[in-house]
Structure 1
């Protein structure tokens, strides 16, 4: 190790939502341990005000659904109270299929306040950054990791500025196209769904009553997530050609097509915000733990948005990693070694979500007559089955007992 190398206990690569959550979780669960933590972020430092759009791509205006389980974790890390004022509760979800009679309502159980909450990425990002600014963290921003060397007792990182860092543990939270995957020459398993998502925030002319809508259309699912001020966060999955065509429409033309697809249960759409499009794939690393380096969030896995599990899956990565690090510190162990238990626990959850969302996509993006009839009957039967609905609600809320599978 060279003399001008700065030493840390843990380096987090990626200062987006997962990376910020990871830093907050570590500071909360390892309080009093005097951990020296660095965050490396490639973008220019964003505005901290939730009222301003950030230059960080992970802090844009898209709607994020926080499961009840994710809210509990954020609360455990003393982050929820800062985030909560910017959220809107989901008390009920209506699931339906366009041009059919099949539908079902999923309600929040009586013993909880909500199925989940919706927040704009820029708002949760700003609040996490404001909270982290109160903590003892070292930021390298904007900065890119250019080289990575795994030694027996540490990892050495070189930044594009020439700065050298050394750490017992590196947590890669730099997303699906992150540099850490590239440096280790890791190629994830990937499946292209042949679908694109178009996202936006839309305003309607009536109160949404905290209802989220999941509607299955001919080309893919369409989700409307309740937000503050009679708005919905829209995630519309369709073909690439359709997504590009929808993005190019003027607002009135887009609203007309959206209204036709979603119907009028949501109310009359009166305003639409900026539209974004992106391809839908599922990808995952077959092994998300390497010597002294752990991949979390989208750096480890990406899933179809059909069940709103992407960020929530990342939060469960963070929770598991933070718990293990806290245990190692209590037991005076090297935080960078023996992560096999994390690998076993997380891969089980990740594979379950990957398979579940993949099945939903394949079942509800198929226009075969018999399959459509089966879906229609299935939704009606689901509405009449309180046991099935209760189990589904628990999973949607992130209350999953991995040992019961």
Structure 2
């Protein structure tokens, strides 16, 4: 196995040596270290460029400051950590990461040529970007990135659970190296962003969130993400360094936006009554799924009081169902009673169930079902499948009448 690995290193290093003269012939551009603040590192595994910068905690990035995240209670992230919702998530113990790749695939042919990693250190947020100048230097990049990952207790990314981290795991596996982190707990900010704003914003892409929620305006240094694989190819084959400096800017901005996005999301979740413009129904469901019932109830109440009629109706429905699940039947019934003059059959069915099964009052249950059938016939109740709803109500009515001996 070691012999095979040595041959792989030799083959990749050969590619690097072949491309270097070509880069010098085709383009005479400044070396990377003159365009990006950083330095070259030489390891037994190869060479890697490290760009490193520290930002003060009061550094603004859009409408937020980087240090705003430190004021977010750690427990608010529990619903978004998958099976590790009970894991500690201290901002000083986690790393933010983002990778730039040679393509969008997740197979063996896709490389992570730039790995950006950020973490809070003392009174700063420190950003490190590891760059491999050619394919033969990949192991050096992986070694340096591994040191940062291994020193963390958790990960933060944007869509990294589906793309960035699985791809990194693949790269380490191909080099016969264990991944430097178990991959959990992992806060993928795309999940809470969708929970909060999916029904409010046309897109939850990071660029859209920067524009609509964070007030981040990228400069002309930025490059579109879809061009980045081509720009790296030009760097390797033709020595073009100037566009690569723009890729460093793109990656760094992504990471800083993750920090302020986490701050924005965390404060919204921690104080939902002071959080206009988010999807409280989705937020409540996220809380409820993790057993955070009081927070879920608070979110559903906020939705129920929305000026948006559809959101308010969904909020009241979810609120009643959660109260029922918690055994707070009287509170749930009060919500359903208030909804009887609306255009939803749901409160009639829920109240009928309560009277039939819990209160042992089939006569009152029958009156509710009859009223629902009448309103359905007159078109006063809206539902996706009126015929199916009518059949269900008729079946319930027949059972109640048998019970009453009618």
Please classify the TM superposition score into its range, dividing by the shorter chain length.
under 0.3
Higher helix share: 2
User: Larger RCO: Structure 1 or Structure 2 (Cα < 8 Å, ≥ 6 residues apart)?
Assistant: 1
Q: TM-score, normalised by structure 1?
A: 0.25
Max Rg structure: 2
